[in-house]
């Protein structure tokens, strides 16, 4: 069934949004977020202080795409207002783990007593701070912050051992202010 659907997103005060075809740029004094979307069959426009995503003859697939794009734009606006923050905890039982940040890479030393350090890639745009046994990742893009946190968790994944006994690693404890 085809019907006319629109999604309206309010732009808060102090934030400038620019729509150029499928590319959206959100900026304020703190910085800018930019992203290009796949908007086949959808229209994307800015009127007054609103972003309107719509389609005259929308299907269920178009509605899903519209809702996803709206969620991404809302996250871009939130990230510009206040940076997204992930907190990770370094856990170890016997071998003390140390984390060292060098450029766009983090070295995880002495994990399970291993001689060679494990590496976690830090995506561009993510800021990493290590404070004793807590790692704080901040970014204005939620996907960048989430990917950096996932890279730390994946770097310390233990395979071929019992997870109930070997509980060492780096684990996400806080996602954007929500405890896990």
Q: What does the alpha-carbon distance between residue 45 and residue 156 come to, in Å, rounded to a whole number?
A: 44
Nearest residue to 109 (alpha-carbon basis) of 121, 95, 89: 95
Sequence spans of domains, the chain: 3-81, 84-179
| Rounded distance between C-alpha atoms, residue 42 and residue 53, angstroms | 7
* Each residue's pLDDT tens digit, 21-58: 899 999 998 889 999 999 888 999 999 999 999 999 99
Dump pLDDT digits (tens) for 6-29: 999 999 999 999 999 899 999 998
Give the per-residue pLDDT at 13.
92
Query: For the whole model, what pTM was predicted?
Result: 0.89
The pLDDT of residue 91 is 95
Whether the domain at 3-81 and the domain at 84-179 fall into the same CATH topology: yes
Tens place of pLDDT for every residue, the chain, 180 residues? 789 999 999 999 999 999 998 999 999 988 899 999 998 889 999 999 999 999 999 999 999 999 999 999 999 999 999 999 999 999 999 899 999 999 999 999 999 999 999 999 999 999 999 999 999 999 999 999 999 999 999 999 998 988 888 889 999 999 987 888
Query: Could you say which architecture CATH assigns to the domain 84-179?
Result: Alpha-Beta Complex (3.90)
CATH code of the domain made up of 3-81: 3.90.930.12
CA distances from 147 to 21, 29, 103 (A): 27, 25, 16
């Amino acid at each position: 069934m085809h019907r006319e659907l629109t999604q309206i997103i309010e732009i808060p005060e102090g934030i400038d949004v620019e729509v150029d075809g499928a590319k959206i740029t959100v900026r304020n004094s703190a910085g800018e977020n930019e992203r290009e979307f796949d908007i086949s069959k959808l229209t994307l426009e800015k009127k007054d202080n609103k972003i309107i995503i719509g389609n005259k003859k929308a299907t269920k697939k178009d509605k899903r795409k519209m809702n996803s794009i709206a969620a991404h734009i809302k996250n871009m606006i939130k990230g510009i207002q206040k940076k997204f923050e992930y907190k990770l905890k370094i856990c170890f039982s016997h071998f003390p783990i140390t984390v060292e940040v060098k450029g766009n890479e983090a070295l995880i030393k002495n994990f399970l007593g291993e001689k060679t350090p494990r590496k976690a890639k830090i995506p561009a745009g993510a800021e990493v701070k290590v404070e004793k046994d807590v790692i704080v990742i901040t970014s204005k893009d939620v996907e960048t912050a989430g990917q950096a946190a996932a890279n730390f968790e994946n770097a310390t994944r233990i395979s071929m051992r019992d997870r109930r006994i070997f509980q060492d690693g780096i684990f996400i404890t806080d996602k954007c202010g929500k405890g896990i």
